[in-house]
Each structure stands twice: as C-alpha cells, then as structure tokens.
C-alpha cells in the first residue's frame, strides 16, 4: 500500500470516527435536543445569562418546519460544494493544459 493510500485511509477513518463516536458514546443524552445547532446553543446560553434579552432583529425568512430548514441548508451546502468542485477542476484543467503546452515541441501544431 502506498503512502498516499495509507494517509487517505487514515483520514477517512478519522472522519468516520468523528461522525460515529458522539453517537456511540451518548454525548448529548442529557439534553432535550442532543445535537442542536450553534444558534440554538447560543440562544440558550444568552437566555440563561440575561433572561430579559431581546434580539436586535428577526430573520427575513422563517421556514415553516425544521425539515424544510434542513433541506434548504443541504441545498446551500450542495451549491457550495459544486462551486468549489468546479473551481478546483478548472484549475487542474488549466494546469494540465499548460503542462501539455510546455511538453509539446515548438513549431509543430498538435494533432499533425
């Protein structure tokens, strides 16, 4: 097994462990919503510190349910991943084109 394959396998194992260990170890079992987002955690902490706190503004759009909110978040993440994949693919294609142009003999058109 090559060095890169071992590194990739270790990284994949680490990601899987980060995803599974909190569930297996029961982290968050003492909470009503064990894996709530950072917004909920911040709101809870603020109301514990200052019960009379009033937010400065309200959201522009409040989804009707948590499922729709999760779906919109997933769509946002997919669009972001697509943009990043396009950018990195474009960079790689340009680099490969430059390498081919540098490797081709001068004065001889390609394909002849």
First to last CA, the chain: 41
Question: Which pLDDT value is given to residue 66?
Answer: 81
Distance CA 21, CA 13 (A): 11
11 confidence band (pLDDT: 50, 70, 90): very high
Pick from 55, 25, 26: which is nearest to 42 by CA? 55
Are 10 and 17 spatial neighbours (Cβ–Cβ below 8 Å)? no
Question: Which pLDDT value is given to residue 72?
Answer: 93
Query: What global pTM score does this model have?
Result: 0.52
Q: Strand runs (DSSP E) across 1-112, as ranges?
A: none
Residue 13, CB half-sphere, CA atoms under 13 Å: how many? 6
Q: 107: left (phi > 0), else alpha (psi -120 to 50), else beta?
A: left
pLDDT digits (tens, 9 = 90+) for 49-86: 998 988 888 888 888 888 898 899 999 999 999 999 99
């Amino acid at each position: 097994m090559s060095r890169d394959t071992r590194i990739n396998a270790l990284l994949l194992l680490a990601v899987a462990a980060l995803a599974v260990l909190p569930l297996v170890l029961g982290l968050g079992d003492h909470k009503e919503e064990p894996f709530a987002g950072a917004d909920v955690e911040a709101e809870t902490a603020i109301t514990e510190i200052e019960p009379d706190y009033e937010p400065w503004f309200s959201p522009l759009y409040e989804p009707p349910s948590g499922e729709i909110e999760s779906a919109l978040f997933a769509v946002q993440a997919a669009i972001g991943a697509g943009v990043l994949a396009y950018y990195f693919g474009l960079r790689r294609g340009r680099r490969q084109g430059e390498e081919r142009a540098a490797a081709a003999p001068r004065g001889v058109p390609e394909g002849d």
